[in-house]
Amino acid sequence: MSIRFIASAAAALAAVLPSACATTSPARPAAPAAIQLPAGEEVSLTLGARGTQNYECRAQPDGSLAWAFVAPEADLTDSAGKQVARHYAGPTWESLADGSKVVGVVKAKAESPDPDAIPWLLLASKEASGQGTFAAVRSIQRLDTRGGKAPAGACANAGELLKVPYTATYAFSRASAMAAPAASTGMGY
């Protein structure tokens, strides 16, 4: 199997990498209505991602060949640029500090404002493990995508792999903080 890497896309992404900076701000990132977080959730962590979206040339039911998505491979960084997690097949996000993981399932999509970028997504947590960073994640938003799309049209060699560079922002949500307890009645019970 041969592996192709789109070098020109990598160079183009280098120019936009600062836009993929991460923050730990709990503010809800701007997102289209279709991929807003469910009620009762709030952003608890926002990380930048840089990596590849990986595709394989596969036969289609009509006998033609086309690029099929296989998995992502990305490093996730905090607001200081330090790698704190990795993103891979599942889709899975794994903390490098505590080993906690969350596996997501796509619930909704919105086209990226960049026509050459993969869509923005809302994913729900279908499985979380470990204790720490990702243990209590309920939803994940993929936002601010650049690159990552497979080339349009057919591919030539079944089994060929293609790694397309991309950047994105991932916002992880948890249950919103509970409302403050009711004021005491002063009645002693």
List Cα–Cα distances, 118 to 21, 150, 160, 170, in angstroms.
Answer: 18, 9, 20, 13
Q: Where are the beta strands (DSSP E) in the chain?
A: 3-5, 41-59, 65-77, 83-88, 92-95, 101-110, 120-129, 139-147, 161-175
Does any domain span residue 30?
no
Res 8: pLDDT: 40
Does any domain span residue 86?
yes
**For residue 22, pLDDT beyond 60:** no
**For residue 32, pLDDT beyond 80:** yes
Does any domain span residue 26?
no
Count of H helices and E strands in the chain? 1, 9
Among 75-89, 143-157, 167-181, whose mean pLDDT is lowest? 167-181
Does any domain span residue 25?
no
Provide the domain limits for residue 138.
3-20+45-175
Does any domain span residue 137?
yes
Q: How many domains does the chain have?
A: 1
Determine the average pLDDT of the residues in 4-27: 42
Res 81: pLDDT: 96
Determine the average pLDDT of the residues in 39-45: 95
Q: Are strands 83-88 and 65-77 parallel, antiparallel or unpaired?
A: antiparallel
The pTM score is: 0.80
